Homo-oligomer: A and B are copies of this chain.
Amino acid sequence: MPLTPHWIRHYPRQHLRDDLIAGVLLTVLVIPQSLAYALLAGLPPQAGLYASILPAIAYAWFGSSMVQAVGPVAITAIMTASVLGPLAPVGSALYLQLAVWLSLGSGVLITLCGLARLGFLSQLLSKPVVSGFITGSALLIILSQLRFIGGIDARGNTSWQLLHSLWAWLPDIHAPTLLLGAGAVVALALARTGLKRWPMWQRLFPLLLILVCPWVVQGLALDPGERIAVVGPVSLEWASFDFSMPHPSVFSALVGPTFLIAFIGMVQGITMAQALATQRRERIDANQELLGLGAANIAATFSGGMPVGGGLSRSAINVASGAQTPLAGIVSGISMLAVLLLGTDWLNHVPLAILAANIIIAAWGMIDLSALRQAWAYDRADAIAWLGTASGVLALGLETGIAVGIGLSLATLLWRTSSPHIAVIGRLPGTQSFRNVNRYATETLPRTLMLRIDESLFFGNLQAVEERLGLELAQAPDTQDVVWVMTAVNRVDTSAMAALLNLNRDLKDRGIRMHFAEVKGPVQDRLVHTPLWTELSGELFHSVPDAFAALQASRQEPHDAALSI
């Protein structure tokens, strides 16, 4: 792998201006969400700004998408909070330390997956499951942020816990905070729809709100007792993160969640990059993409200390700002550093309720009921997977929810492939074409069964194949020859090979010969060294017509009598 990325070596000069402008715009426009997602992760809001520096640059260097913007994102943020919540008090030194380990660990894992070319693992989840997971997470995110809107301290990892806690805190709601927070939610929602015709103002609005709000609070004397929670003093100490190993028991509790965050990060990052590339007629390399995401998370260890990912709104802003190459990402990282160096006093008085309002609006946009409707109309099993995942996330929390989702994805896959289409075939009269005897008027040979299997053979569908053969033989007990037509069989795994070997022995005992026709080259290359080939009671025919002709001849009966239509 060359050390300099492809896009730098062939950088198109005409894009330079676009990329520079987009990078600076991106920096300014993502400030609110960067602050908000750090808050969502249970970290000091400014961690989100730091996490937009080195990770953005690292991704630009190692990633494969031209326009994906990497930084703090909603899903990894709430997963961080959900993982670390039970292990350390929010805001404690241990919490910050564990967040650093989480981003380092998931970065290393993602990088290793990229190096091992395991990008295909990101396809372990079906679209309905991903959509159900994101919708469930979005609802959890909204519930988790209501505490900032109400100025209370309601917490929990599942919807029950959160609702229960919110209910208990209801009497303690701080009216001015609620006014400010609810007002911000309404204002942001209105801006989203009302400013559609002025996209730049629409995107600038969250930042303006953050800048204006402290003045409004002060000017109107909304908060005489100073009870509205604010970001507070921002430290510029980069290296304040603690790299010492936490206690082994805490550390081991981090291992599973690290895998999970890495996995979800992979799924989200690759899905996003893929979607962006399709829009722009570009191509991404899933494994290269993992190297980019992994590098970004490793870089986050030294810059922000929180897991990062490819963000939907962040990337959308990048594209809308005119970014053409990853140079925009590098520019945005450097600009963010400049913003921090120029001063962060303006951040001190930003109310947390405003940041929470930003999160709620972003989460609201992640709710995707149309995917459920679409799946319900198209394929009930996929709709059930959506519902199972979303309710799993809400009722049992993110980790269990995603496990439910993976289980449902694979169960539907297995359920579908476990009953392959199998057809008894015969010859179309006067041709060399063979078709399903139930759908066409065909000629078949007496005491001969030709079965075409329309799926690769593997551990999950052998039983169905054996059962079908059993049924057919029960209907035609005088069968002497069984021909497996392997036209559509692209693979035969070890379990299937063993099952075919047993079938061959079994049929031989019953005086039935077993043949194969049209076995594909790669399949044959494997089978040729197995006992199946040496013990095969029948023959190996190059084509179905060959098999038909040979068996017809072996019947040693007058030509016409041998055919039954």
Contacts and interface: CB of A to CB of B under 8 A. Distances in A.
Interface of A: 120-121, 123-128, 274, 278, 281, 283, 286, 374-375, 377-379, 382-383, 409-421, 454-456, 458-463, 466-467, 470, 488, 490-491, 493-495, 497-498, 502, 506, 510, 526, 529-530
A460 B417 CA distance: 13
A470 B284 CA distance: 11
A374 B498 contact: yes
A459 B127 contact: yes
A506 B278 contact: yes
Contacts of A488: 454, 488
A320 B274 CA distance: 60
Considering residues A416, A462, A463, which has the most beta carbons from chain B within 10 angstroms of its beta carbon?
A463
A120 to B, nearest CB: 5
B455 A456 contact: yes
Considering residues A125, A459, A526, which has the most beta carbons from chain B within 10 angstroms of its beta carbon?
A459
B127 A463 contact: no
A128 B494 contact: yes
Given A127-B495, A375-B494, A378-B526, 20 more contacts: A120-B414, A120-B418, A123-B461, A126-B459, A127-B459, A128-B494, A274-B463, A274-B466, A283-B467, A374-B494, A378-B529, A378-B530, A379-B526, A382-B495, A409-B459, A413-B414, A416-B491, A454-B488, A455-B456, A455-B490
A463 B421 CA distance: 24
A463 B418 contact: no
Contact of A490 (B274, B420, B491): B420
B456 A416 contact: yes
Contacts of A467: 283
The 8 residue pairs across chains A and B that have the minimum distance between CB atoms:
A126-B459, A127-B495, A382-B494, A120-B418, A375-B494, A123-B460, A126-B495, A488-B488
Nearest to A463: B123
Contacts of A414: 120-121, 123-124, 410, 413
Contacts of A120: 414-415, 418-419, 460, 463
A556 to B, nearest CB: 28
Contacts of A382: 493-495
27 contacts: A120-B415, A121-B414, A123-B459, A123-B460, A125-B459, A126-B458, A127-B459, A127-B494, A127-B495, A127-B498, A374-B494, A374-B530, A377-B529, A378-B494, A378-B526, A379-B493, A379-B494, A382-B493, A382-B494, A383-B494, A410-B410, A410-B414, A412-B493, A416-B458, A416-B491, A416-B493, A455-B490
B456 A417 contact: yes
B490 A421 contact: yes
Nearest to A283: B470
Contacts of A281: 506, 510
A86 B510 CA distance: 51
Contacts of A413: 413-414, 458-460
A379 B522 CA distance: 12
A415 B419 CA distance: 20
A125 B502 CA distance: 19
A494 B410 contact: no
Nearest to A379: B494
Contacts of A526: 378-379
A467 B419 CA distance: 28
Considering residues A379, A418, A495, A526, which has the most beta carbons from chain B within 10 angstroms of its beta carbon?
A495
B416 A495 contact: no
Nearest to A460: B123
Contacts of A409: 459
Considering residues A128, A411, A456, A493, which has the most beta carbons from chain B within 10 angstroms of its beta carbon?
A493
Nearest to A499: B127
Contacts of A378: 494, 497, 526, 529-530
A128 B497 CA distance: 11
B463 A126 contact: no
Nearest to A531: B374
Considering residues A413, A421, A467, A498, which has the most beta carbons from chain B within 10 angstroms of its beta carbon?
A413
A454 B495 CA distance: 21
Nearest to A520: B421
A523 B378 CA distance: 11
Contacts of A470: 283
A125 B410 CA distance: 12
Nearest to A414: B124
A153 B561 CA distance: 77
Contacts of A510: 281
A281 B510 CA distance: 9
Contacts of A123: 414, 418, 459-463
